Structure 1
Amino acid sequence: MLPFVLNDDGKELVLLDSEAQNQLILNQDDTTQPIAKGGEFFSAEILRKFNPNLSSSESLDNWTWRLTQQNENLRLFIWELGVRTPSDWALLCRHIPRSLEPHLQKGDREIVEVFHAVYRRDRRNSHEKGRCFQPTLNQLQEMCDLLKPKNIIISHRKLIYHLKRIAEILRQDTLYRKTGSPQTIPIEVYDKSSENYVTNLELGYYTDTPLEEIELNQLKEDCHSLFEEVLYEAISEVVEQKVEDLQKSKGYKSFAQQFPEGLRLYYQKNMSLGEIAKLWGIPWCQARRIFKLENFLDNVQYRTEEKFIAKISKTNTKSQLATICNSPDYLKNVAEEIRNYALNKTFNHAHAEILSGKKQKKNSLFAQILQRYLNNLIAEAA
């Protein structure tokens, strides 16, 4: 398994680009060449992502250990072997995607909701780390009591059965998404002698993912599903605000209504600011002050990040982000996670398009969503 994380032979000097996002190999003639996607050195990734100012308790050793545990290639290999799979109780702490709805029975969502309300609450309050263990009798009783108003009358034994059944659905879904095929080896097996479930000794020991990490992983999924929607809204708001600002400006008031058209010429017609200035009959420097493209892009990025946090807080249940919201360090993690996601998803590319100075087609996701917005503006005005 070591080759998955120790893939740096030390023969090449590895650098980061000016945006500290991509790895480059420094050749002997002082030229650089990008490392192909998927071939990045893991050691360089650890150093690139490490932020010593993020948390006083986050040492480089701890950070290295955490990223090693999260290494996707390593985890995929281990999962394919059927080891290090999360316990039922850790799986049940997660959000159930709607795609699994056809596999759930009536009342399953209610059962998971009360499990979150009781088990996740107690685990969070106890600050317990490591493997998640079976709910206590008191916890099971509280879950049963919470299910009664939902017209679900159930015994402790039956509740355990349903929780394990739902967990197995989540496990198979997780394994399928990670490895492309389901894993049939259960993490626990029924022991007839004790009439209880016991750990399957065929599987290796696994420390369940901390609740904070589960919630951050859920955040990543939310980012992926919401990004284009949030980006469109942010672009709409920033363009409208820019038009309002130009209308209030004495020198550029006459260009306020032309601003969206100018963006269309720049992003769709691939015209330079100089060409737009000539078309509008103004100097290039004046066109540059009207558009302020870098500032415009920064504003869209800021609004995107801001709206992301607002959207996520509305779409998640009260308990889903409770841990990270109660911890300043994890709040920083959330903000940084969203910022890095947005940068990698489109804003690094969008900034590069502006700074390139070349007349080339702008195809960043930002440019695509902006063009969609501008086309909708034209359609609404027609």
Structure 2
Amino acid sequence: MGEIEMSEICVIGLGYIGLPTAILLSDGGFNVIGVDTSSYVIESLIRGRSNISEPGLSERLLLAIHERRFIASYDIPIADTYIVAVPTPFNQDKSADLSAVFSVIEGIGRVMKPDSLVIIESTCPIGTTEICRDKIFNILRERNLAQDSECINLAYCPERVLPGNIMEEIVTNDRIIGGITPNASEKAEQIYSRVIKGSLMLTNSRTAEMAKLIENSFRDTNIAFANEISLIAEEVNVNPWEVIELANRHPRVNILQPGPGVGGHCIAVDPWFLVEATPGISRIVKMAREVNDSIPKTVLDRFEKLRYDCLENGIYPLDVLIMGLTFKANVADMRESPALQITESIVRKYGDADHIHILEPNIDSLPVSIEDRARLTTDPLSNKNYDIVLILVDHTAFNIDLVQEIVFRSRHIIDKRGLIRRLGVKN
């Protein structure tokens, strides 16, 4: 099989994965059409503004637009290759919501050429790529363009990037390519090999789908263990950060860090896809999800105890400082954020814009859910003492001088990131 020539690629879904992928491909010499249903996203991109905050992305976007290697559109065009990068959230019952993926696949099927390559990067349950193959085949057959599903060039290639470092990791990380057929895997490999420096590992679609799910499930399980250890340690009056640090000195132990829960669109979501597929077998995966989902409530329970203690001592109204809203450090992303979930609960019950202060250096305004009953502060030390402080995210901006002064001015501290110990702050 000959090499694929430089061609036109359509990337559908211009969020945290789709837009960086589109710009990476345009850097590699491909002509890229980015498609999204959001008028805000498309209009922003037409004006040269990135709709997501990611270091290095805005500059490369502007260059790609200037050199006419990238354009944004509402409509799926005829293209040589399609890359699907739309969200796959879960429903209220934790089952996967694949409506966006299936809608895009049907849209592609209505315009694609029979020999076009379709790559799914969205995280999906096992077997989804095969379902998409059947959907494409049925549409092509209706268009009198296919008689055999084996001719469909469809592959699954999940992303493996860390928000805040996407533009580097999207190039250097290894990638799994799982084709419906070996030919589809090879065609997808030719696309990615133009732009990715990491290893490209070819397999079948089901194996690729499961590999993505177990990567995040492994991390979720490790974090759940750390979170449970932290609860046990607190119950028996042991510092959880110290005991985990000491245990990790064992050469074969690597416990991750506990926190206020698990957020983001991957670790907090993907394990449920395994549970949905094998509910009677994936017991550890399910239990880990339940442990991590329960942690925000333990934080709120502790907040309630401290609040009651303040009230018992005649302190009212309480001044509360919440440090961090995002799902991880040094990003603006609040998807599935336990810090935001905890904050919403506190604001919903006790919200008062004069007394609930939010310190989040990565955003310019508060989410709609809390904006009327809390205040975003850029100077938490402006003549303010606090009754309760919650450290929910360990942003780099929360340096030793700032944290030391906040601790000095505070009656009670809930540090769910171990920041006080890590910085060596005297408490």
TM-score (norm. length: structure 2): 0.23
Please identify which structure carries the higher strand content.
Answer: 2
Please identify which structure carries the higher helix content.
Answer: 1
Bigger CA radius of gyration: 1
User: Which fold has the larger relative contact order, with Cα–Cα distance below 8 Å and residues 6 or more apart in sequence?
Assistant: 1
TM-score (norm. length: structure 1): 0.25
